[in-house]
Chain A
Amino acid sequence: MTSQGTRRMVFMGLLVALATALHVVEGMLSIPLPVPGVKLGLANVVTLLAIYLYGFRDGLTVALMRVLLGSLISGMFLSPGFMLGLTGAVGSTMIMALLLKHTTCFSMIGISMAGAAAHNMGQLLAACLILQNSALIYYLPVLLLTGIPTGIFTGVLLNSLISQSEKSGMLNDLVRTSP
């Protein structure tokens, strides 16, 4: 365990805390749309940042810890909503890590759009399994369409976050300190 390992651990803790806070605050905001379940996906920014910095495993850690802690804080642990958030988070983390690692043509905007779509699909799959009812698939187009602008929004946020912090050297100092 070098000082780099410690830095990484501390930074992961910060990311989990940030993601949890965003997750809980986001749950309190309601989007003025007639359909339930539409969210900004701000917490996804942190997941994607973790994947970008450390890779899939740590991204998944942030996503899982965020859903777990967020549900404990908001009192939704093991509720249907928790299950949906869990499958959505796992699905989107897998897709985003896959795209980030194996493609070069997408910017953060594309990756976060794909993540939003994967989140929605995973969520609906879980909802269909929980309710034993495939009729929920009718909700998919609505979720996908609303996921596009929110995916773009979080992608733009992340693009500027990464470019700003790389310009100032902050991320390099914090995360990738050479031994």
Chain B
Amino acid sequence: MTRADKFLLAGLVLFSLLSMAALYSRFSGGDDKLQSSKAVISVQGKILRTIDLTPGTRSSFTLQGRLGPSIVGVEGNRIRMLEAPCAGKVCVNQRWIENPGETIVCIPGEIMIRIEGTAPLDAVTR
């Protein structure tokens, strides 16, 4: 290893560490994962309400579907159907959803819950 090699080595290490610091420092301020998402609930094609899914909150409410009252539970950034008047209970059995793009659909009750927001990952390739 010559002197120039060592300089190059030091330069490369320095450059990658500096670029690492420059690139990653903007993430340290706000926690990306805690970025709030929204759940949009629509009944019979119309948006009924939009709920901010912020971490650390917990609530449940009743909404009127086509068949009758359904109970929706919200816990932090996830949401689920707790009770539904339909026969199949597909929506209840789907349990919690939390990632943007995920949906719970109750076809007999004509209820749809969809989480909106930016996905943390949109593709993984190897």
Contact = CB atoms under 8 A, between A and B. Distances in A.
Contact of A80 (B4, B16, B125): B125
Interface SS of B by simple majority: helix
A152 B1 CA distance: 9
A107 B13 contact: no
State which size class the interface on B falls in: 10 to 19
Given A113-B12, A148-B12, A148-B13, A107 B5 contact: yes
A141 B20 contact: yes
Given A106-B2, A114-B8, A36 B126 contact: yes
Residue of B2, B16, B126 with most partner-chain A CB within 10 A: B16
Given A141-B19, A141-B23, A109 B5 contact: yes
Contact of B16 (A109, A114, A137, A144): A144
Contacts of B125: 36, 80
Contacts of A131: 123
Interface in B1-31: 1-5, 8-9, 12-13, 15-17, 19-20, 23-24
A127 to B, nearest CB: 9
Interface in A110-159: 110, 113-114, 117, 131, 137-138, 140-142, 144-145, 147-148, 152
B16 to A, nearest CB: 4
A159 to B, nearest CB: 9
Interface of A: 36-37, 80, 103, 105-107, 109-110, 113-114, 117, 131, 137-138, 140-142, 144-145, 147-148, 152
Given A107-B5, A109-B1, 10 more contacts: A36-B125, A37-B126, A106-B4, A109-B5, A110-B1, A113-B8, A113-B9, A140-B19, A148-B16, A152-B9
